[in-house]
A = this chain, B = another copy of it.
Amino acid sequence: MAPRLASAAPSPFRSREERERDREEKREAVLRAAVRMFNARGFHATSLDDVAASLGISKPTIYHYLGNKEQVLIECVTRGLELLSAAADTARAQPGDGLARLRSVLRSYALVMMDDFGRCVVRTGDEFLSPEGAALFRARKRAIDLSIRALIQDGIADGSIAPVDVRMTAFTLAGALNWPGRWHAPDGPLSPSEIADAMVDILIGGLAPRT
């Protein structure tokens, strides 16, 4: 049999980068499986044995990739917080007045809340984390809150938003948008995008200045 070209038949011998990519991929798979189970059954009610079983591997393998159970949770929450931060930052950099940009941020925020990792942020109370974990967690959530507040400020400054209590408004908006993270079922009749649009419309309705 003629020897095959390297490009046609990928060698079973992995290079350095390939192995690192493999490793990353496996880590990611563990995280995905874990976050799904955490969301469905709760953190304390999910054992790492369960997570391992759902991937057809054994518990020590999870420890090999992720250290310990809290670390798994922290990585999941961090993923979610990163999505949220990204949503806030990119939408904030767009053109348009304050109200338009706020709308855009809220929409993205709502969508993240219907993603596995976004959900996890909302479902993970401080009480599940160690004090250090909780502090980190709070700091990141605060940064996102400040982003939203800044946007509301901008809107008030440029006249696209009525003069409201910035702090309470940010709390209220975020609170409402967090909620789908608790009840949204991916198989419902409305798509995440439709839900996000509907909620944002309702919330934004009261902010425009009365003409």
Contact = CB atoms under 8 A, between A and B. Distances in A.
Interface residues of A, number: 35
A42 B125 contact: yes
A128 interface: yes
A165 B198 contact: yes
A205 B207 contact: yes
Nearest to A122: B182
A24 to B, nearest CB: 30
A202 interface: yes
A66 interface: no
A125 B182 contact: yes
Contacts of A180: 175
A164 interface: yes
Given A172-B202, A175-B176, A45 B42 contact: no
Interface of A is mostly: helix
Contact of A176 (B44, B162, B164, B176): B176
Interface string A16-46: 0000000000000000000000001110110
Contacts of A42: 44, 125, 127-128
Nearest to A40: B127
Contacts of A128: 42, 45
Contacts of A79: none
Contact of A171 (B40, B179, B204): B179
Interface string A191-211: 000010011001111110000
Contacts of A178: 175, 179
Interface of A: 40-42, 44-45, 123, 125, 127-128, 162, 164-165, 168-169, 171-180, 182-183, 195, 198-199, 202-207
